[in-house]
Structure 1
Amino acid sequence: MKLLRRIAYLSVLTVVVPNVVNAQEPLLNLQEAVSIAVQEDPWLTASKQTQEAFASEAIASSSLPDPQISLTAASFPVDSFSSRQEGMTQLVVGVSQTFPRGDTLSLSRKQKNQLAQKQPFLRADRIAKVKTTVTKLWLDVFFSQQSIRLIESDRALFEQLVSTAKASYTSTEGKARQQDVIRAQLELTRLDDRLTSLRQKEEQLQSELSEWIGVIAKSRLPDDLPSLTLKKTLLSPSTIPKQALYELIKEHPVLQATDQDILASETSVELSQQGYKPQWSANLKYGHRNDDPSGNDRADLLSVGVTFDVPLFTDNKQDKQVRSAKFKTEAKKTEKLLVARQLIANLRSTFLQLNRLNERAALYHEELLPQMSAQSEAALTAYNNDDGDFAEAVRSQIAEIDAKIDALAIAINRQKLIAEANYLLLSGV
């Protein structure tokens, strides 16, 4: 019985649960899962294509409009349609070129480049989010698999309890009662149900993970819980001023992407202000005239002209366009403020939770798990020596299993919070 207890005992923070598997079965570690997810993410490809599109638009938007060519048969007499009858009859070819208002071309190019420069920041944020998401899913699958192994390792003990209770019940000298046999069998059945539920959860989580890494998500995970490194430690997050927390997140890619939106919006204000300047158009026309009816040569005609509009009535057009662009810029700045506030709140909350989990992990590892093990060992020994209650022995075993799984959950949640904190502390591209 004591041998069974030694096999069943597991401290989930320090000891690996043995699992009989094919030695050649490939293992899916966390780093590999994250790497595959990033490499296979189509969003990153779309972002690069978007950046290239904006870069091409920047060049196109800084180009002058295409010149216009006109061909005109002018002043032909309708009685004869002769090109020699009237002196004004001519064949005219013309070319005109429009010049956009003010600095519209250079500002349009500037704005497109600003939008293109937003994409690297979005990709950096996306990569970090993918890493965090896949890390959490991988850890959830790890929790399910390790919980299954924990229960399976203790299931043998409950099978032994059922056998012992049955043997004691049928023995004339045994003290076991029928309810002890039923209770032991019931707990064994409940363990089986718990295993089924955990396997169902494992399959569900593997399906969610497969969205990011494909069928390899069905692979077995290593038995060792990976230890993520925290970029920065905050000992008293509840008392740190907002400004100090802002300094930690101000270089976050999502904020830098918003900065690019603000710059592009400010350029939109400059673009709208070009509406107060005239738009110019230059034209050149050459008219060829035929000889007169007597055979005398007629001189060809050349015309040069410039047209431009005069923005006089600006109240309901240009003024409103500038006003609209300015409001949109302020809205972008407000959006950045809201994103920063959310990042700060999440950072504070994450570190508060992390600090509490560190306390709980130490409590479980140093006190609770050893105490639960000692209690279940004592209850089982007392029952084996006919000095204890069967129900208490069963309750102690179940409580120890629950404590092990709770300790595992704490360890898993701690790693998930570290992954979240590292995302929030991300800076640069």
Structure 2
Amino acid sequence: MLATVPGVALAEPLPFDAAIERASQDAPSIQAGAAGVEAKRSAAVAAGRLPDPTLNVGIDNFPVSGPPAFSFTAESMTMARIGVEQPFPNPAKRSAQRTRAQADIGMAEGELAVETQNVRLETALAWIDLYYAKRRLAQLDRLIESLDDLQSTVSARLASGSARPSQALEPTQLRGAVNDRRSELAAEVVRAKARLARFTGDPDADVIGDPPMPEVDRASLIAGIPLLPRLKALDAGIIGAEADTSLARADKRPDWRVSASYGRRDPAYGDMVSVGVSIDLPFFAKRRQDPKIAASLSGETQARLLRAAAEREILATLDGDLADHEMHMQRLDNARKVLVPLARRRAELDMASYAAGKLDLGSALLSSLALAEAEVDALSREADVARDAVRINYTYRPITNGEVRP
């Protein structure tokens, strides 16, 4: 019942897995690819079948000169004819046509798998980006709340005469700088929501729950590379190129046709039946069939080389992504163990010095801002690690039954 009410079924925030599942089912590009696969399957039913028979109707031996000219009865050979002809392409050609049709299905399925993988990856990254953008925004909001408390402290000091009047402006000035940063993060939230809405179909897309942190294992990723959708599509392209070569070679084998006709003459004469067989004679193969075979062989070589080049590219890209992931993990570890603790300790010491009257408020506020920036930066580094793990697993792991293989 909820599904019949527009907007109701899509109103709740989505956990990570639910967002991926919804995008896999509802993305228009995936549905278009599925329709393309179905079209290729339907076309494959007719592949390799015998051509339709041909019906022949005509008049034979109709006189146009001499005494019987333009007479249907004066000439004994004149007759109305009806016949049928059935072509029989050679078996090798029909077999190659069936192989080509299956290769077309394989390529369409490969393209669908590639598109499914891309949609799942982009949905996952959009979810990660929205999750961490909201967390960074919440971090700045907590800083703004602390500035409100600090404003009350400054106001109390002004009332007691222990602070300069200009110090009352410093929290407001810092709040203005933080608001600029907050506007940037708010824009990131909107952009990430728009990307997530694009794939899930939810106009008010939102996230709930924690992001996954998939394990990144180079050995298992390398083992699964031959099964990646992109390479499987190229494998189907090789099969298609081989089928094209078989079709070109099959042209050197003769096709043949069987025909039969019935001729009706004047009742004074007897009717006639004709039966015949026609056979193609590929006598000039060097100028006709052989060039096509050579072209198909070149296309076959090209398909294999493209597949090899794609595998090398994937391996090189994987190593680069693994290096980036390792670098981002080290940066995150440095932020958590060094940068954020130092920034927090400095902010605490500066605020204590301000409270003791040993430091001006502006310096103390700058330390608080530096702490907030360090914490936001740590969240950005954590987001980089999560994005790397998700991107690597959703790019370099095969898809089985719509799911990334563990």
Q: Which amino acid in the other structure matches residue 181 of structure 2?
A: R
- In 2 relative to 1, CA 120–61 (structure 1 residues): closer, same or farther, beyond 3 Å? closer
- Once the two structures are superposed, residues 358-377 of structure 1 have per-residue CA deviations (whole angstroms, 9 ceiling, x without a partner) of 22222222333222211111
- Once the two structures are superposed, residues 362-412 of structure 1 have per-residue CA deviations (whole angstroms, 9 ceiling, x without a partner) of 222233322221111111011101122323211210111011111111111
- Once the two structures are superposed, residues 291-311 of structure 1 have per-residue CA deviations (whole angstroms, 9 ceiling, x without a partner) of 44xxxxx33222222223322
What displacement does 1:211 show?
Answer: 0.9
- In 2 relative to 1, CA 192–245 (structure 1 residues): closer, same or farther, beyond 3 Å? closer
Superposition misfits of 4+ residues, deviation over 6 angstroms: none
What displacement does 1:349 show?
Answer: 1.5
Q: Which amino acid in the other structure matches residue 256 of structure 1?
A: K
**Partners in 2 of 1:80 and 1:289 — Cα distance?**
16
- In 2 relative to 1, CA 170–198 (structure 1 residues): closer, same or farther, beyond 3 Å? same
- Tell me the residue number matched to 1:273: 249
SS of equivalent to 1:330: helix
Aligned ranges 1:107-256 → 2 under 5 Å? 107-169=96-158, 171-172=160-161, 174-176=162-164, 178=166, 180-219=167-206, 221-222=207-208, 225-230=210-215, 232-234=216-218, 247-256=223-232
- Tell me the residue number matched to 1:412: 383
**Partners in 2 of 1:80 and 1:264 — Cα distance?**
58
**Partners in 1 of 2:214 and 2:293 — Cα distance?**
49
**Partners in 2 of 1:216 and 1:226 — Cα distance?**
21
- Once the two structures are superposed, residues 73-107 of structure 1 have per-residue CA deviations (whole angstroms, 9 ceiling, x without a partner) of 22234556544422212222222122224521221
Conservation of the 8 A alpha-carbon contact between 1:246 and 1:340: no
Q: Which amino acid in the other structure matches residue 153 of structure 2?
A: T
SS of equivalent to 1:93: strand
What displacement does 1:245 show?
Answer: 7.3
Q: Percent identity?
A: 22
- Tell me the residue number matched to 2:352: 381
TM-score, normalised by the number of residues in structure 2: 0.87
TM-score, normalised by the number of residues in structure 1: 0.83
What displacement does 1:352 show?
Answer: 1.1
- In 2 relative to 1, CA 281–84 (structure 1 residues): closer, same or farther, beyond 3 Å? same
- Tell me the residue number matched to 2:265: 289
- Higher mean C-alpha displacement, 152-161 vs 244-253: 244-253
**Partners in 2 of 1:341 and 1:41 — Cα distance?**
30
SS of equivalent to 2:132: helix
- Once the two structures are superposed, residues 23-60 of structure 1 have per-residue CA deviations (whole angstroms, 9 ceiling, x without a partner) of xx943322222121111022333233222222222221
For structure 2, list consecutive stretches of 5 or more residues without a partner in the other structure: 1-10, 401-406
For structure 1, list consecutive stretches of 5 or more residues without a partner in the other structure: 1-24, 235-239, 293-297
Conservation of the 8 A alpha-carbon contact between 2:40 and 2:108: no
Alignment root-mean-square deviation, CA: 2.4
- Once the two structures are superposed, residues 261-280 of structure 1 have per-residue CA deviations (whole angstroms, 9 ceiling, x without a partner) of 10111110010111222232
**Partners in 1 of 2:375 and 2:26 — Cα distance?**
36
- Once the two structures are superposed, residues 126-149 of structure 1 have per-residue CA deviations (whole angstroms, 9 ceiling, x without a partner) of 333222111111111112211111
What displacement does 1:208 show?
Answer: 2.1
**Partners in 2 of 1:289 and 1:28 — Cα distance?**
82
**Partners in 1 of 2:104 and 2:352 — Cα distance?**
72
SS of equivalent to 1:250: helix
Q: Which amino acid in the other structure matches residue 266 of structure 1?
A: E
**Partners in 1 of 2:170 and 2:288 — Cα distance?**
83
SS of equivalent to 1:63: coil
2:240 corresponds to which of 242, 254, 264? 264
| Corresponding residue pairs, total | 387
